[in-house]
Structure 1
Amino acid sequence: MEDDLEKLQFYAAIGEAVTRWSSVEDGLFLLYSRLIRSENLQVLSATFHSVINLRTKLQMIDAAANYAIDDPHLRQKWTSLLNKINRAAKRRNDIAHLTATRCQQLPEGKRYILVPKFTDLREESVVWFHHFWNPSYTTARLKTLAHSFDLLNIRINEYANLFEPAKPLSTNRALIQGRHKSTQTLDVGMLVGKKSPSGSSPE
């Protein structure tokens, strides 16, 4: 594999993984909307997306779940799902914040990797460099993670769909039915009830 091609594939895999994560956050908003059961999706969306920190968003959803979910089985499923989300979020943060580097000594196809910042002298980073020759974030690993983010979004949507929406407006069908995917374009007008899926104004 030529070095330029390997480099291109590596950075493309980073971009794909980071952008695929956005579908996970879309799924989290769907779940939040189902738990809160507000008929005003515009207000709900504004409050949810005004929070930038993912940990805070998850705390909001968890707090809502504690009050909205009575079924012990569904509570247990949420706890399991939340653990999966937290583990995936750690991987996403690694991809976004680690340093890309090239190591000539590694095998072809694995020479471009993500590692901690060279100025980070914390213990966990120093330990990481001891495993430098068995890197965690190669091109293949990044592609696998991108796919895993899609699967996680599906699981979140499936769980959210266990709860009835507050008001199943046809103009919000793409969101309420959990069909919004990372590969689709969702018109903002559909979310706030200002436009029907066909593009015409609702009655």
Structure 2
Amino acid sequence: MLPSGGFREVSRRDLVGQYLGHTAEKTASVVDAAMGGVLFIDEAYTLSRSAGSNDFGQESIDTLVKLMEDHRHEIAVIVAGYTREMSDFLDANPGLASRFSKAVEFTNYAPDDLLMIMDRIAVGGDYLLAPGTLPLLHRYFARLSHDPNFGNAREARKLFEGMRKAQAQRLRRISGRPTLDDLRTLTEQDLLDVIGAVDGAGAR
């Protein structure tokens, strides 16, 4: 459907300049480089957030609207970000929302999904999650999913990294050389050292 099928990912810093007129030039240059393929703007809502009197995010949005119309058969533009903030972004220019024919909202991962992600991260790093960690992880993810700042898969990755550090500290305290199983296994204690324990539920 597109001439080249290339993919270019950008963010606010790639589109917004430091002085009047610079932003339109930068935005046009990015669109031109992505012509024939896909332009993906991550955290697009940051363009509509004013950072003071010299913020040129709006200039980038206005330029983008015109270029999307002028080249609508030559480029696919995808904008991504948090749902509420993206609604504000689409209101930043009267013609912006109409330039996007489809919206996809990704729902949050459920605790079972996060357990699967956690397991895949562990296996990918040649680690094993001890069986005792699984119910604690599930309860922890269930509590975390109600937090307004819930980070989805990022939470699993952060927790895994924390458990690796806790494991390293634990193994340094044992006498003798650790076995291969010791080195590969992330235990319930490693998890609790990261998240703490409230009534054994594994939550802060």
Q: Please say whether Structure 1 and Structure 2 have the same fold, judged by a TM-score greater than 0.5.
A: no
Structure 2 length normalisation: TM-score? 0.26
Larger radius of gyration: 2
Structure 1 length normalisation: TM-score? 0.27
Instruction: Tell me which protein shows more helix as a share of its residues.
Output: 1
